[in-house]
Chain A
Amino acid sequence: MRSADEIVEACEQLYDDLDFAQARAWKAAKPGRKVIGFMPVYVPREIIHAAGMLPLGVLGGGDSLEVIHGDAYYQSYICRIPRSTVELAISKRLDFVDGMLFPSICDVIRNLSGMWKMMLPDVYVRYFDVPQNYKDDIGGTYYIEELKELKAGLERLAGREITEDALNASIEVYNENRRAVKRVYDYRAGQPWKAPAWEVYLLMRAGMLLPVEEHTALIDEYLVACAEADRPMRDNCRIIMQGSFCEQPPLALIKSIELSGCYIVDDDYMLVNRWLLEDVPTDGDPIANLAEAFLKHSTETAAKYEPCGERKGKYLVDAVKDRGAEGVIFAAPSFCDPALLDRPMLANALSKASVPHISFKYAENSGQMQPIREQAGTFADTIKLWSEP
């Protein structure tokens, strides 16, 4: 059995590999296999899985990719994830990807779907829209048809039908994965010194690259290893990271937050792993069940409309209570419309609930962590010194 350090090291190797060797190997292992890339923030991976394909999370180039061509596609005031994603495509690092899904998250990712169509006309490209109306007979009806269109597109690409049985089986596989993800998040919230945030982050990133069954097993292996690891508890404060759901922070940033004296007890880094909050039924009409899960049991984030003004930000205040957090750090990518436009409303909700919060911005290739460490450290000290017990 591997130790927690060995598991995390394996995850970090996956994270560092911008040539996606693991996914290439998966594809090459059997003739006819196909890989479908997707960007943040949510796609129904169950349908891809049921088509016998590998869903591959494409989350930009991180801090190690030198963006040479991608910058020629974007103005300076546009975030970094689209330019590094274009770089991945132009540098042929994604040349094994048979299709790309661009979820409804913001105008930049939305427009990137059209650019992808123009850059790679032979690749299956779909802008994956989701309803902002959550009523069954309005948004639900629309979403079911969108899911059917996605399914039909993947069937054409796969050259075979995606049966209801296959879909229900895939839903069960992803239910198991979501349960495992929930276990690790709950475990970390309970004993954050045992499961450091940067390790959990790498574990979640591995889920973007590995077949889901392997990822679930990996999480369970990690939890067992963590329980056995001897890791001392520190006098850190407990905070939630918020606003990093699309362009990802560099790993050094997550480490810096912890080094500055903050335990991260919740985050929104890899929302696709945690989008659906409850098990999706595995009998009946799987498309209708996926739609129902999205409408009624999905996470709240800036890319979704909140129909009830009084509820705006409530999910974050609730998370603070549920996780026993003492503060929130808003960490959004520069020029990220969803996160930055949402932030004042969330900050208001926190202030009304007397939850301390700070904010800063980053880019996926931010290199200088000292200011962030100082800001987070001061925040942690403030909480420790001045917050009421």
Chain B
Amino acid sequence: MSAEMQDDVIKEPSMLKQKAMIADNYEQLTSAPETGRKVAATYVPGNLNELIMCFDMLNNLPEINAIQNGMRKKSGRMIQDAEKMGHSEDVCTYVKADIGNMAKGAIAPNGKPMPVPDLLLLSYTGCFTFMKWFELLRDEYGCKTAMLHVPYTGDGIITDNMRDYVVKQLKEEVIPAMEEVSGVKFDIDRLRENLKRSAEAEDDFVWVLQSAKSKPSPIDAYFGGVYYIGPIFTAFRGTQDAVDYYKILRGEIEARLANGQGPITPEGELKEERYRLVVEGPPNWTSFRDFWKMFHEEGAVVVASTYTKVGGVYDYDGFRHDPDRPLESLAEYCLGCYTNRNLPARVDMIESYMNDYQADGFLVNSIKSCNSFSAGQLMMMREIETRTGKPAAFIETDLVDPRYFSPANVKNRLESYFQMIEQKRKGGGPAKAA
């Protein structure tokens, strides 16, 4: 999900490819004023990249920019600047990092200024804050905004009414707005071709995620997973680059699997898998590598995570973008994103991960910024413990606000949790939440 793979990480071809893809995308974005390419800003959940590409537009994702700035340790200052401008300390730090960055000239990771978007594609999927975020950006940029309201699946199902509503908005609001901004006429066959490539990449992506069912797991599906989701969640779904990336990645994982190897961490290959975890919630980005280290140095491997479903759920119920039902398929994609599913559906999904991936425990990384994920997590945790009998634990951090990452507290809690798993394995009594 980031170009921030550090130099000391063992660089496999897939990593190098993704890094090049991301660098090229930022280059295209920052050179848009010269090339004349139009830019759509949109979100990771409900990202309509295949559609954006139909209009020769570039896709700029403000969450990804915030993550990039978080990993580069720049987000703290941006957040404080936004708070000085009147934004509450209580609200999402992605928003404040974005606004703080904007106030300083919106510098992209390549050091060049990010262009003003030509279109704010407000895909309102699974997160209330999205709506306000783009209202705030519209206030600043004054550019055209297209709203795509994706209804929440409150009963855990996608109804015909929901699907029809989203499709109608795509046809009558989003596509006309894109045509107007780009000057390119919509071609549904072009969309079908993009969706075909998406589905191809999604097959390999799912294979990679499900490789973690093996013991030992050849991947870490959370810390490593955030890199694996990069192309499929961002500006590359529907491109040949994404198809190629996942083929290369799959080949690498197949080789690791064949050799019985564990995941690659920033400090090399994990030699001994001691704990298999399912993790709920986004990671902390400002201390990402320190955070990961707290796991891999204890031999803890995340075998499944919900964060890697935030930009689309492809493994759990087999969704694939479908070129034969292009707009319906885009609608179902948006409706099915993880945080657009109701709490009972999320619990069912986690329970299946716990069982299918033979996890030893369930960990919640509760993010201060993100009520969409966080509200209800304590109940989810108790429910998973009850259903699976496996111990659960809870830590608190934030997305990109370094003030809310307390390494000593997180480490202490994790160490206690790993001890609890050990105790449980030895038959040391019932699981209790850490």
Q: Which residues of A contact B (CB under 8 A)?
A: 72-75, 77-78, 82, 102, 104-108, 110-115, 117-119, 126-127, 129, 131-133, 135, 137-139, 141-142, 145-146, 149, 302, 305-307, 309, 312, 332, 334-338, 340-345, 347-348, 361
- Interface size for chain B: under 10, 10 to 19, 20 to 34, or 35 or more residues? 35 or more
- A–B pairs, 9, beta carbons within 8 Å: A75-B396, A107-B128, A107-B339, A111-B376, A114-B344, A305-B124, A305-B131, A341-B133, A342-B132
Residue with the highest number of chain B CB atoms closer than 10 Å, among A77, A145, A146, A337 = A337
Please report the C-alpha to C-alpha distance between residue A340 and residue B136 in the assembled complex, in whole angstroms. Answer: 12
**Cβ contact within 8 Å between B135 and A305:** yes
Complex: A82 Cα to B371 Cα, angstroms: 12
Interchain pairs with CB closer than 8 A, number: 168
A348 to B165 alpha-carbon distance, docked (Å): 33
Query: What are the residues of chain A within 8 A of B339 when measuring CB–CB?
Result: 107
Contact B154 A138 (CB under 8 A): no
What is the CA–CA distance of A334 and B89 in the complex, to the nearest angstrom?
A: 10
Query: In the assembled complex, which residues on chain B have CB atoms less than 8 Å from the CB atom of A306?
Result: 135
Q: Which one of B166-174, B188-196, B220-228 is at the A interface? A: B166-174
Question: Chain B interface secondary structure, helix, strand, loop or mixed?
Answer: helix
> Do B136 and A341 touch across chains, with their CB atoms under 8 A apart?
yes
Within 8 A of A (CB), among B140-156: 142, 145, 147, 149, 151-152, 154-155
* CB interface residues, B 314-352, toward A, < 8 Å: 339, 342-347
Whether a CB of chain A sits under 8 angstroms from the CB of B90 is yes
Q: Whole-angstrom distance between the alpha carbons of A149 and B139 in the complex?
A: 36
Looking at the complex, which of B50-58, B80-88, B355-363 is the stretch in contact with chain A?
Answer: B80-88
Q: Which residue of B lies closest to A105 (CB)?
A: B128
Contact of B344 among A72, A104, A117, A146 (CB under 8 A): A117
| Option from B135, B165, B344 in Cβ contact (under 8 Å) with A312 | B135
Residues of B within 8 Å of A302, CB to CB, are 132
Contacts of A127 in B (CB 8 A): 152, 154-155, 342
User: A309 near B374 (CB under 8 angstroms)?
Assistant: no
Q: Is the CB of A129 within 8 A of B147?
A: no
Measured CB to CB, the closest approach of chain A to B353, in angstroms, equals 18
**Is B383 an interface residue, CB under 8 A from the partner?**
yes
Contact yes or no, B344 A118, CB < 8 A: yes
Q: With A and B bound together, what is the CA distance between A138 and B171 in angstroms?
A: 10
Q: In the complex, A104 Cα to B133 Cα: how many Å?
A: 17
B365 CB to closest chain A CB (Å) equals 12
- Whether the Cβ atoms of B129 and A113 lie closer than 8 Å is no
Bits for B96-131, please: 1 = Cβ < 8 Å to A, else 0: 000000000000000000000000001010011101
Q: Are B379 and A77 in contact (CB under 8 A)?
A: no
Contact A343/B86 with A108-B375, A141-B165, A306-B135 known, Cβ cut-off 8 Å? yes
Q: List B200-247 residues whose CB lies under 8 Å from chain A.
A: none
Is B152 in contact with A309, judged by CB distance below 8 angstroms? no
Of B173, B378, B396, the residue contacting A72 (CB under 8 A) is: B378
Are A118 and B379 in contact (CB-based, < 8 A)? yes
B152–A129 CB distance below 8 A: yes
Query: Known: A106-B128, A132-B147, A335-B90. Contact between A113 and B375, CB under 8 A?
Result: no
Q: A107-B372, A111-B371, A142-B161 are in contact. List 17 more A-B contacts (CB 8 A).
A: A77-B374, A112-B375, A112-B376, A113-B342, A114-B342, A114-B346, A117-B342, A117-B344, A127-B154, A135-B172, A139-B165, A142-B162, A145-B161, A309-B138, A312-B135, A337-B91, A345-B136
The reply to whether A133 and B149 form a contact with Cβ atoms under 8 Å apart is yes
Cβ contact of A75, chosen from B131, B345, B374, cutoff 8 A: B374
Beyond A302-B132, A345-B136, is A118–B343 a contact (Cβ under 8 Å)?
Answer: yes
The smallest beta-carbon distance between A305 and chain B, in angstroms, is 6
Q: How far is the CA of A108 from the CA of B136 in the complex (A)?
A: 21
Within the complex, which residue of B139, B151, B378 is in contact with A348, where a contact is CB–CB below 8 Å?
B139
Q: How far is B85's CA from A336's CA once the two chains are assembled, in angstroms?
A: 18
Contact B383 A146 (CB under 8 A): no
Please, which residue of chain B has its CB at the minimum distance from the CB of A117?
Answer: B344
Which of the listed residues B90, B145, B342 has the most CB atoms from chain A within 10 Å of its own CB?
B90
Contacts of A141 in B (CB 8 A): 164-165, 168
Residues of chain B with a CB closer than 8 A to A138's CB: 165, 168-169, 172-173
Given A110-B152, A138-B172, answer yes or no on A82-B375 (Cβ-Cβ < 8 Å): yes
Are A74 and B378 closer than 8 Å at their CB atoms? yes
Known: A73-B379, A142-B165, A145-B161. A111 touches B343 (CB 8 A): yes
Is there a chain A Cβ closer than 8 Å to B79's Cβ?
no
**Measured between C-beta atoms, what is the minimum distance from A349 to chain B in Å?**
9
User: In the complex, which residue of chain A has the Cβ closest to the Cβ of B120?
Assistant: A309
Identify the interface centre among B127, B142, B155: most chain A CB within 10 Å of its CB. B155
CB–CB B169/A110 < 8 A? no
Instruction: Give the chain B neighbours of A135 by CB distance below 8 A.
Output: 172
How far, in angstroms, from A19 to B339 measured CA to CA in the complex?
34
Tell me, yes or no, whether B366 is within 8 Å of chain A by CB. Answer: yes
The reply to whether B95 and A341 form a contact with Cβ atoms under 8 Å apart is yes
* A281 CB to nearest chain B CB (Å): 24
